[in-house]
């Protein structure tokens, strides 16, 4: 294997440009003997002379001319890599793979991506919408960089940081507008429409009402649940962020519960081994900015380093 260093290639390029050991050594800020030794070592490594030495000038050999073109590609590539690395230390760039659960994605994503790409124009965002269990597994396996989910998760390989909270709202048919808000005991006697199994939001609703699920009354999305309520099939819950999107064109009444109202905490997950915490903090900042623009929750707490 032929071994040479980037430093030797830079010295070679300087000598090729100046055609003189003295001027090249000045440009490289090293002594002329040191430069001469590095060029000799490089020529020994490649097995052929790169320069023809004249009395006052040095010239590239035919092999040296071809070598110079290829060395230039390597040096420019090394420079680009260095520039990219320095930029990545200060912010986000390249590909970023983010997972989002379905009860967040349609409502938060447009503003989240707008905030993120405004601050990080070179970022290539890839979004994966799926249920919590799958997202947790894909973050753990390195298939995703982070995930925006409802907390807590409590996975030993992941760091989770709460970012904001939002209330769960009751959705009932428009004919019920003005009636008292039912409590958990009253809702136990009602037909409560839920998301299908696998959605964490389903579990949160069941826990709040202390309900047992009704067979045949599950929906695949919050939009479906609201449409079912509008058709007079029962009541349901949706998160606060979904209200402006899902309810305006449906004959439903949306009410908030009396304190203590049910809430969910939205946060971000990433691996404990994540090497660039600055990037993850930038993502968390964008999530918080998106939530605040929707009037949700509270300010982001200090993130752990």
Task: Find the angle CA(8)-CA(57)-CA(25) to the nearest 5 degrees.
Answer: 40
Percent of the chain with pLDDT over 70: 90
pLDDT, averaged in runs of 10, over the chain (305 residues): 87 94 93 94 94 90 95 87 67 82 95 90 89 93 92 93 94 95 84 82 74 66 95 93 96 91 92 80 92 76 40
Assessment of whether the complete model's pTM goes beyond 0.85: no
Query: pLDDT, tens digit, for every residue of 127-151?
Result: 999 999 999 999 998 889 899 999 9
Whether cis (ω within 30° of 0) applies to the bond prior to 232 is no
Q: What is the pLDDT of residue 9?
A: 95
CB neighbourhood size of 275 (10 A): 7
- The conformation of residue 242, written as its DSSP 8-state character, comes to G
Report the topology of domain 105-121+148-305. Answer: D-Maltodextrin-Binding Protein; domain 2 (3.40.190)
Query: pLDDT, tens digit, for every residue of 84-101?
Result: 676 566 566 678 899 999
In the three-class reduction of DSSP (H, G, I as helix; E, B as strand; rest coil), residue 154 is classed as coil
Return the domain boundaries, the chain.
6-88, 105-121+148-305
238 vs 74: CA distance, rounded Å: 56
Is 148 in contact with 287 (CB distance < 8 Å)?
yes
271 vs 6: CA distance, rounded Å: 34
Query: pLDDT, tens digit, for every residue of 15-46?
Result: 999 999 999 999 999 999 999 999 999 999 99
> What average pLDDT does the chain have?
87
161 vs 144: CA distance, rounded Å: 16
Owner of token pair 């409560």 = 192
Does domain 6-88 fall under CATH 2.40.33.20? My reply is no
241 vs 222: CA distance, rounded Å: 11
| β-bridge pairing 51-53 and 58-60 | antiparallel
CA distances from 151 to 128, 136, 159, 161, 169 (A): 18, 11, 11, 8, 18
Choose among 167, 122, 123, 160: nearest CA to 140.
160
């Amino acid at each position: 294997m032929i071994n040479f260093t980037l430093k030797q290639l830079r010295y070679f390029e300087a000598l090729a440009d100046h055609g003189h050991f003295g001027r090249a050594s000045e440009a490289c800020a090293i002594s002329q003997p040191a430069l001469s030794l590095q060029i000799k070592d490089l020529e020994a490594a490649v097995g052929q002379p790169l320069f023809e030495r004249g009395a006052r000038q040095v010239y590239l050999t035919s092999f040296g001319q071809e070598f110079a073109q290829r060395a230039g590609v390597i040096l420019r590539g090394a420079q680009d890599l260095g520039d990219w690395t320095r930029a990545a230390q200060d912010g986000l760039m390249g590909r970023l793979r983010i997972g989002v659960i379905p009860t967040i994605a349609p409502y938060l994503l447009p503003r989240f991506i707008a905030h993120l790409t405004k601050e990080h124009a070179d970022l290539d965002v890839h979004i994966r919408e799926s249920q919590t269990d799958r997202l947790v597994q894909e973050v753990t396996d390195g298939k995703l960089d982070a995930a925006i989910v409802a907390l807590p998760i409590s996975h030993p390989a992941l760091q989770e940081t709460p970012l904001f909270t939002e209330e769960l709202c009751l959705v009932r048919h428009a004919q019920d507008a003005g009636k008292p808000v039912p409590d958990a005991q009253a809702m136990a006697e009602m037909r409560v429409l839920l998301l299908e199994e696998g959605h964490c939001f389903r579990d949160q609703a069941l826990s709040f009402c202390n309900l047992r699920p009704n067979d045949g009354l599950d929906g695949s999305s919050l939009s479906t649940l609201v449409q079912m309520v509008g058709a007079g099939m029962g009541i349901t819950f949706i998160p606060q962020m979904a209200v402006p999107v899902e309810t305006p064109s449906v004959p439903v009444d949306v009410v908030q519960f009396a304190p203590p109202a049910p809430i969910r905490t939205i946060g971000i997950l990433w691996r404990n081994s994540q090497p660039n915490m600055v990037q993850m903090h930038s993502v968390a900042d964008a999530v918080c900015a998106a939530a605040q623009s929707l009037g949700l929750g509270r300010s982001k707490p200090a993130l752990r380093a």
